[in-house]
Amino acid sequence: MNSRKDTTNLRRRLLTWYAGNGRVFPWRTVPTDPYVVLVSEVMLQQTQAARIAERLPLFLAEFPSIRHLAAASNGTMIRAWKGLGYNSRALRLRDAAAMITEHYDGIVPASVQTLRTLPGIGPYASAAIACFAYGVRAVVLDVNVRRVYSRWMQRCERTTDVAALRDIEAFAADVIPTRNADTWHHAVMDLGATICTARAPLCRTCPLQRHCPSANAMAQATRERKAEPTFRGEPIRLWRGRIVKHLSDHDSRTLRQLFRDVTGTTATASDLAWLHTVVHKLRTDGLVSLDGDVVSLPG
């Protein structure tokens, strides 16, 4: 975009599209509840929005206030988080709730800097919570927003092209409207989720087509995947989730029983060594207890 007029037109086009096409989620309530925003933003890290839309009401029924959440035990949190993956997020969320209860009288802070000091709240989540809970004009940059801004800023030839973070931040600081920054970010996220997608952007039906230098430029694009550690062809993170889920449904298990239950096969010596490493890491993360070779959920 070259001028203030271009920026104004882009904003108008996007917000008009959002008014008729925005997604509806239980955490986008009016008036906004900062506690709900806090919980949903932590859930949304690594888990699909549609799944959170199902689970959030159940979670809020069990923990109706930040003080209820702050008082939950590790085992209670892991059971309540079942199926959402990355269980350590649940414990950090509980720890954040405890800190807010103790130091901020149970009120979720509005300052990005203060939010950043809470357990499990990184640069993205702190900006998102401040923006979506209180309308703070923070720069909210998740992977989808970075992709959309990159395509607006420059002509991207491949779908994997992403501008330098510093340049994206400067662009974002300019393009975010001075009012209703929360609505703006919801609109950018929804465009990224439904039209300006990672692998196959729908430029021909995009409301921003006339304002976007990358429109129709990525026909030959491919997307590279980062390799991640696996066991028997599946990511370790999936095995971690299965182990915790299995323990939340059953009593304690020996390592050998646990291996048989989650894989359906009998463990060899090298299998047991692998499982011991995974369980040891889960214990370090506070997600399981290990007594000798007996594994269970923490009390």
Per CB under 6 A, 94 contacts ligand SF4: no
End-to-end CA distance of the chain: 56
Instruction: Tell me the C-alpha to C-alpha distance, in Å, between residue 85 and each of 166, 218, 283.
Output: 31, 33, 16
Distance CA 279, CA 273 (A): 10
Per CB under 6 A, 188 contacts ligand SF4: no
CB of 4 to ligand SF4, least distance (A): 20
Kindly state the number of chain residues that form the binding site for ligand SF4, as judged by CB under 6 A.
13
Q: Which is nearer to ligand SF4, 142 or 285 (CB)?
A: 142
Per CB under 6 A, 206 contacts ligand SF4: yes
CB of 13 to ligand SF4, least distance (A): 10
Residue by residue, DSSP assigns the chain as --SHHHHHHHHHHHHHHHHHH----TTS-SS--HHHHHHHHHHHSSS-HHHHHHHHHHHHHHS-SHHHHHT--HHHHHHHTTTSS-THHHHHHHHHHHHHHHHSTT-----HHHHHTSTT--HHHHHHHHHHHH--------HHHHHHHHHHHS--SSTT----HHHHHHHHHHHS-SS-HHHHHHHHHHHHHHTS-SS---GGG-TTGGG-TTTT--TT---PPPP--EETTEEHHHHHHHHHHHHHHS--EEHHHHHHHHHSS---HHHHHHHHHHHHHHHHTTS-EEETTEEE---
CB of 206 to ligand SF4, least distance (A): 3
Per CB under 6 A, 201 contacts ligand SF4: yes
Per CB under 6 A, 14 contacts ligand SF4: no
Q: Which is nearer to ligand SF4, 210 or 250 (CB)?
A: 210
Question: Is 41 a known active-site residue?
Answer: yes
Tokens 């506690």 -> residue: 35
Work out the number of other CB atoms within 10 angstroms of the CB of residue 140: 28
Q: For ligand SF4, which residue of 36, 195, 287, 297 counts as binding (CB under 6 A)?
A: 195
Q: For ligand SF4, which residue of 139, 203, 243, 255 counts as binding (CB under 6 A)?
A: 203
The pattern of x and - marking residues 207 through 246 that bind ligand SF4 according to CB under 6 A reads -xx--x-xx-------------------------------
Catalytic residue among 41, 54, 62, 157: 41
Segment contacting ligand SF4 by CB under 6 A, of 83-91, 206-214, 251-259, 275-283: 206-214
Largest CA distance in the chain: 68
Segment contacting ligand SF4 by CB under 6 A, of 106-114, 198-206, 248-256, 267-275: 198-206
CB of 14 to ligand SF4, least distance (A): 9
Give me the half-sphere count of Cα atoms (radius 13 Å) on the Cβ side of residue 53. 9
Query: Which 136-175 residues touch ligand SF4, going by CB under 6 A?
Result: 148, 151
Segment contacting ligand SF4 by CB under 6 A, of 109-117, 170-178, 200-208, 273-281: 200-208
CB of 223 to ligand SF4, least distance (A): 14
- Chain positions contacting ligand SF4, by CB under 6 A: 148, 151, 195-196, 201-203, 206, 208-209, 212, 214-215
Task: State the catalytic residues.
Answer: 41
